[in-house]
Amino acid sequence: MILKSETIPPFDFEGLFIRDFTATLNTSSSLAHIRVLPHFHHRRAWSKECDKYYYVISGQLQFMLDAVDHTLKAGDVCIVLQGHKFSYANIT
């Protein structure tokens, strides 16, 4: 399966710019490119439909997974399994 970024328009979700590659697919995991500007955050949510994989390309994120805070830096990965709660913020 090939997914070309130019065919998937980004959308603004509360200040986050998200290009969701798997939104229209029936998959067991989620892949999206998310741009988190300084001082913006993703509100607390839970992964209802699939596992989510977060790979930090640059900068750092404060990531809360199941009520535990983690600082993620470039190259780090956070895997949110289906049914788990999460939130994240760019606190830089």
- pTM of the predicted model as reported, rounded to 2 decimal places: 0.86
pLDDT digits (tens, 9 = 90+) for 8-43: 999 999 999 999 999 888 888 999 999 999 999 999
Residues 6+ apart with CB under 8 A from 11: 17, 18, 20
- Residue 60's pLDDT is 94
Residue of higher predicted confidence among 9 and 49: 9
pLDDT at residue 81 above 90?
A: yes
Query: Mean of the pLDDT values across residues 79-85?
Result: 94
Contact 26, 60 (CB under 8 A): no
